[in-house]
C-alpha cells in the first residue's frame, strides 16, 4: 500500500459572513487521508464536519462561505486555487460524495439504470453501449445487489432508504472516484440497514483500496468501520489517532466526555452522562480553548492561551494544554 496521501488539508480556515456576524466554521484544520484508509470524523452537531467535507470539493456556498486560509491537496490538485470550471471536471472522479439523504441526491424522474448511464456518459464518454450495460450491472453488484436488474429498473421511490443509499454509492462508483466522502450516510437508516451500508463501504475499501472519509456523530459507527478517527469540536480538530487507541484511551477531555455519553455499555436504569453546557457560538468563540467552559479538567491557562496541536506519538495528535510540553506552554503564555 502506497503511503502517499490521497488528501492533505493544511491549516484550513473557513468562515461564513452572515447578517449576525462572521461564523468561524473551521479554524486551523489539518489532516491527511492515506491510500486505502478509512478515516472517521466525529463530533457534535455544528462542529464543522460537513463544512470540512464540502470544502474538499469546494462545495460550500460562496458567499456567504469564504476560505480564509490553508491548503487542500486532493491527489495532484490544489483545490483552493481551482476555478469552478476546473472543479466541475474533477468532482465525482477525484472525490465523490455521499450525503445523509440519498433519496434527495437521486433524481425521482429517472430509473436507477438511467441515472447510472447518465453519470457514465458524463464521466466515461468513451464507453460503448455494451460496456455501459455491463458497467451498470457491475456498479450495482459492487454495492451488494444480486437482484440488480430489478433495482436498475426501479425509480428511487420504489426502493427503501437503505437501498437508495447503496444506489447512491453505486452512482458515486460509476465515476471511479479516488476518494469517497460519506457525510452521515447511515444516520437516516434503521440499525439493520445501517449495518448493511457500512458493510458495503468496508468491502469497497478492502476490495478496491478506496480511501473513505466517513462523517458521523456515532461512535458505534466509528468502531464498526473506522481505522483512524478525527474528533472535531467547535470548528477545530481536538484529537486524532487510530480508532483502537482513541476509543481505549481517549486523551482530550472532550473525546473522553463524548465517549462517556455514548449509550452503548450503559447499565439499564443508569442515567446517561451528558456533556454539561452547549458548544460555543462560532461568531464569538472563546478566545483560548474552545472547550474550556465545558471541560472537567479546565485549568486557568485554558482560558488565556489557545492550545496548540501536540503530536504525542506517531499519528496521535491532541489539542489540549494537558499534553503540551511545559516549555511550549510557558513560551506561548509569554507572547500572548
Ligand atoms: N451556509 C452557511 N451559512 C452560515 N453558517 C454556516 C453555513 N454552513 C455551515 N455553517 C456553520 O458552520 C458551522 C459548522 O457546520 P457543519 O454543517 O459543518 O456542522 P456539522 O458538524 O456537520 O453538524 P451536524 O452534525 O449537525 O451535521 C455551524 O456553526 C454552522 O452553523
Ligand atoms: Mg453535518
Mean pLDDT per block of 10 residues along the chain (336 residues) reads: 77 96 96 95 94 95 94 95 93 89 85 92 84 89 89 94 88 89 83 80 89 91 90 97 95 94 64 85 94 95 95 95 73 50
Interhelix angle 161-174/191-208, rounded to 10 degrees, is 20
Does 139 map to a domain?
no
How much distance in Å is there from the Cα of 235 to the middle of ligand 2? 12
Domain span at residue 37 reads 5-95+177-263+274-335
Closest ligand to the CA of 60: 1
Is 119 part of a structural domain of the chain? no
Residue nearest to atom 17 of ligand 1 (CA): 50
Decide if 192 is inside a domain.
yes
User: Which helix (DSSP H) or strand (DSSP E) does residue 13 occupy?
Assistant: strand 5-18
Ligand 1, atom 14, residue with closest C-alpha:
48
Cα 23 vs. chain centroid, distance in angstroms?
A: 20
Domain membership flag for residue 55 = yes
pLDDT at residue number 54: 95
Distance from the first to the final alpha carbon of the chain: 44
pLDDT of 335 reads 46
How far is ligand 1, taken at its centre, from the CA of residue 230, in Å?
17
Cβ proximity of 211 and 6 under 8 Å: yes
- How many domains in the chain? 1
Q: Which residues line ligand 1 (CB under 6 A)?
A: 16, 18, 23, 25, 43, 45-51, 61, 64-65, 217, 282
Residue 88 counted as domain residue: yes
Is position 128 within any domain?
Answer: no
Q: Which residues are within 5 Å of ligand 2 (an ion), measured at CB?
A: 50
Ligand 2 centroid to Cα of residue 313, in Å, is 29
Model pLDDT, residue 200: 84
- Residue 41 dihedral angles phi and psi, to the nearest 5°: -115, 125
pLDDT at 1: 45
| 116 belongs to a structural domain | no
Alpha carbon separation from 297 to 40, 142, 262, 278, 331 (Å, rounded): 26, 47, 20, 17, 22
Of ligand 1's atoms, which has the minimum distance to the CA of residue 18?
4
pLDDT at 195: 82
Q: Which CATH number does the domain housing residue 87 bear?
A: 3.40.50.300
Length of the chain: 336
How far CA 193 is from CA of 119, 210, 228, 319, 328, in Å, comes to 25, 22, 23, 36, 48
Q: Does 151 map to a domain?
A: no
| CA 307/CA 286 separation, integer angstroms | 12
**Ligand at shortest distance from the CA of 41:** 1
Amino acid at each position: 500500500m502506497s503511503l502517499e496521501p490521497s488528501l492533505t488539508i493544511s491549516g484550513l480556515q473557513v468562515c461564513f459572513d452572515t447578517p449576525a456576524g462572521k461564523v468561524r466554521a473551521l479554524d486551523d484544520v489539518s489532516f491527511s487521508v492515506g491510500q486505502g484508509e478509512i478515516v472517521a470524523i466525529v463530533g457534535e452537531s455544528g462542529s464543522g464536519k460537513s463544512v470540512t467535507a464540502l470544502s474538499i470539493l469546494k462545495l460550500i456556498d460562496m458567499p456567504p462561505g469564504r476560505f480564509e486560509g490553508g491548503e487542500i491537496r486532493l491527489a495532484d490538485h490544489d483545490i483552493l486555487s481551482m476555478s469552478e470550471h476546473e472543479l466541475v471536471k474533477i468532482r465525482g472522479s477525484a472525490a465523490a460524495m455521499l450525503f445523509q439523504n440519498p433519496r434527495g441526491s437521486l433524481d425521482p424522474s429517472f430509473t436507477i439504470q438511467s441515472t447510472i448511464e447518465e453519470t457514465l456518459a458524463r464521466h466515461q464518454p468513451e464507453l460503448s453501449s455494451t460496456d455501459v450495460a455491463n458497467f451498470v450491472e457491475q456498479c450495482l453488484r459492487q454495492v451488494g445487489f444480486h437482484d440488480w436488474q430489478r433495482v436498475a429498473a426501479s425509480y428511487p421511490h420504489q426502493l427503501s432508504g437503505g437501498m437508495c443509499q447503496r444506489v447512491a454509492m453505486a452512482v458515486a462508483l460509476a465515476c471511479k472516484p479516488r476518494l469517497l466522502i460519506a457525510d452521515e450516510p447511515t444516520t437516516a437508516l434503521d440499525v439493520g440497514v445501517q449495518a448493511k451500508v457500512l458493510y458495503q463501504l468496508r468491502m469497497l475499501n478492502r476490495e478496491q483500496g478506496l480511501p473513505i472519509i466517513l462523517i458521523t456523530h456515532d461512535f458505534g459507527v466509528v468502531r464498526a468501520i473506522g481505522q483512524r478517527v478525527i474528533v472535531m469540536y467547535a470548528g477545530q480538530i481536538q484529537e486524532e489517532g487510530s480508532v483502537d487507541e482513541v476509543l481505549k484511551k481517549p486523551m482530550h477531555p472532550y473525546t473522553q466526555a463524548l465517549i462517556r455519553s455514548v449509550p452503548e455499555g450503559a447499565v439499564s436504569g443508569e442515567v446517561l452522562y451528558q456533556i454539561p453546557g452547549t458548544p460555543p457560538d462560532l461568531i464569538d468563540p472563546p478566545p483560548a480553548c474552545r472547550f474550556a467552559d465545558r471541560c472537567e479538567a479546565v485549568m486557568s491557562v485554558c482560558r488565556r492561551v489557545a492550545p496548540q496541536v501536540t503530536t504525542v506519538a506517531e499519528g496521535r495528535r491532541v489539542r489540549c494544554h494537558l499534553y503540551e510540553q511545559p516549555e511550549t506552554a510557558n513560551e506561548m503564555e509569554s507572547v500572548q
